[in-house]
A and B are shown apart, each in its own frame.
Chain A
Amino acid sequence: NAGVTQTPKFQVLKTGQSMTLQCAQDMNHNSMYWYRQDPGMGLRLIYYSASEGTTDKGEVPNGYNVSRLNKREFSLRLESAAPSQTSVYFCASSPGHEKGSPLHFGNGTRLTVT
């Protein structure tokens, strides 16, 4: 039982390049989330998918797009990377989208944009 799996673990991009961060969960959870974590800023929500077929913006959605491919997978795409998007990206899932529903996190993707 792997929980939440994120790929890749590390990535370096040049400004303007695009890439997709992959996330998959095997807990049959309905809701999935993408966060970014910057030093001194805690975790900030980028996008979420409350259930399969739906996606919504979080606190910091600009510069990102998401796709809920199926119940298991939720991807995050950077169309034109910028240095300000250098961060650690975490995917999470939860049984439902109710406030307080416990989140299960992956171990992150460390992205550097030069």
Chain B
Amino acid sequence: LAKTTQPISMDSYEGQEVNITCSHNNIATNDYITWYQQFPSQGPRFIIQGYKTKVTNEVASLFIPADRKSSTLSLPRVSLSDTAVYYCLGPNQAGTALIFGKGTTLSVSS
């Protein structure tokens, strides 16, 4: 598994902002920081990727501090349909590939 640390689970209510932080101390200086989302009974879906500072798209924002040892995925105003597992990718043992960790299960309630 990847050398990443993220919370196993998080709970939220509809309309709240959710921030999921991932630690990836060993990410290489030229690697992108990448997040995926997986709904039940589906394959993972790429949601956002960045190299530094902040990236925003129609789904989420990604905040990356200058040292790049962590990143925070921000989901604005979550809805029930955002209930999913969120993965940040991290380096494998050899540093030759970015691989999946165990992910964070986000549960959104009404």
Q: Which residues of A pack against B, CB within 8 Å?
A: 4, 35, 40-45, 59, 90, 92, 99-100, 102-108
| Chain B residue at minimal CB-CB distance from A6 | B43
Interface of A is mostly: loop
User: Judging by beta carbons under 8 Å apart, are A42 and B49 in contact?
Assistant: no
Interface of B is mostly: loop
**Which residue of B41, B46, B97, B103 contacts A42 across the interface (Cβ within 8 Å)?**
B103
Q: Which residues of B pack against A, CB within 8 Å?
A: 1-2, 28, 31-32, 34, 36, 41-46, 49, 87, 89, 92, 97-103
User: Judging by beta carbons under 8 Å apart, are B1 and A108 in contact?
Assistant: no
**Which residue of A41, A45, A100, A108 contacts B49 across the interface (Cβ within 8 Å)?**
A100
Question: How many CB-defined contacts (below 8 Å) exist between A and B?
Answer: 55
User: Judging by beta carbons under 8 Å apart, are B99 and A108 in contact?
Assistant: no
User: Judging by beta carbons under 8 Å apart, are B87 and A42 in contact?
Assistant: yes
User: Judging by beta carbons under 8 Å apart, are A99 and B97 in contact?
Assistant: yes
Q: With contacts A42-B103, A43-B100 known, is A100 near B32, CB below 8 A?
A: yes
The 9 closest A-B CB pairs, nearest first, are A105-B43, A100-B32, A102-B46, A43-B100, A42-B100, A42-B102, A90-B43, A99-B98, A105-B44
Query: Across the interface, which residues of A come within 8 angstroms of B31, CB to CB?
Result: 99-100
Query: Across the interface, which residues of A come within 8 angstroms of B45, CB to CB?
Result: 105
| Chain B residue at minimal CB-CB distance from A40 | B102
